[in-house]
């Protein structure tokens, strides 16, 4: 009994520590509208600012929190960019968001985000959530983490990209792609929510 109690206590402490490290609120619930849609986001590619309202598509909207250096974000990056570029042509408004504090994540400066946008031939905006307003409003906690909204602006998919980040040839469940395909065709999403897998977003320290 004592062992079980100690294990339970350890798990609770670990979960609390992880939550504190992520410093994120609870993720959006399925069916929720797009939050912080008018928050200003810096676009290093052209030096301008935009909002999620500016990137809304005619059939839906995809917001992916990602970054430059997380091993998980890098492993899924090609797949994310291919889906982003492809479905942007099918009426899905897409924006990739970097919410990391660059004083903690040194590879996530505006210059390096701009360079990554060019290197990966991204046809969609890769923006900076400078004050982390978007990450907190969405309850995003890891990179990569996807939020897909339908034509009505309601959240229909939240979670990971697929079931095998490190071995793309062994993927059997394409959660995000299946959801994008459904939304672009005005159909119901087959799986609405999965667990996000990745590196914790580097939130600014609050003094």
The tens digit of pLDDT for each residue in 82-101 reads 999 999 999 999 999 999 99
- What's domain 2-200's superfamily in CATH? Glutaredoxin (3.40.30.10)
What's the pLDDT score for residue 207? 59
Determine contact, residues 157/62, Cβ cutoff 8 Å: no
What's the pLDDT score for residue 86? 98
Of 13-22, 72-81, 109-118, 158-167, which gets the smallest average pLDDT?
Answer: 13-22
Please tell me the distance from the alpha carbon of residue 55 to that of residue 41, in angstroms, as a whole number.
11
> For the chain, what are the domain ranges?
2-200
Query: What single DSSP character describes residue 173?
Result: -
What's the pLDDT score for residue 12? 34
Name 93's bridge partners. Answer: 61
Residue 3 region by backbone torsions, left for phi larger than 0, else alpha for psi between -120 and 50, else beta: alpha
What pTM did the predictor assign? 0.88
């Amino acid at each position: 009994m004592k062992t079980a109690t100690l294990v339970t206590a350890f798990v609770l402490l670990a979960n609390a520590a992880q939550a504190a490290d992520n410093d994120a609120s609870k993720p959006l619930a399925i069916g929720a509208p797009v939050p912080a849609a008018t928050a200003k986001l810096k676009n290093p590619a052209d030096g301008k600012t935009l909002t999620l309202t500016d990137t809304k598509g005619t059939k839906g909207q995809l917001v992916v929190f990602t970054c430059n250096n997380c091993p998980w974000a890098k492993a899924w990056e090609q797949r994310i960019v291919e889906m982003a570029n492809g479905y942007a042509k099918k009426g899905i408004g897409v924006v990739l968001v970097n919410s990391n504090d660059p004083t903690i994540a040194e590879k996530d400066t505006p210059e390096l985000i701009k360079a990554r946008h060019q290197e990966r031939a991204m046809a969609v905006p890769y923006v900076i959530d400078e004050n982390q307003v978007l990450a907190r409003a969405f309850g995003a906690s890891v990179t990569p983490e996807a939020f897909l909204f339908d034509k009505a602006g309601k959240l229909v998919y939240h979670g990971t990209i697929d079931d095998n980040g490190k071995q793309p040839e062994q993927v059997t469940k394409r959660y995000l792609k299946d959801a994008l395909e459904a939304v672009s065709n005005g159909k119901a999403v087959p799986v609405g929510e999965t667990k996000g897998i990745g590196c914790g977003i580097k939130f600014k320290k609050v003094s």
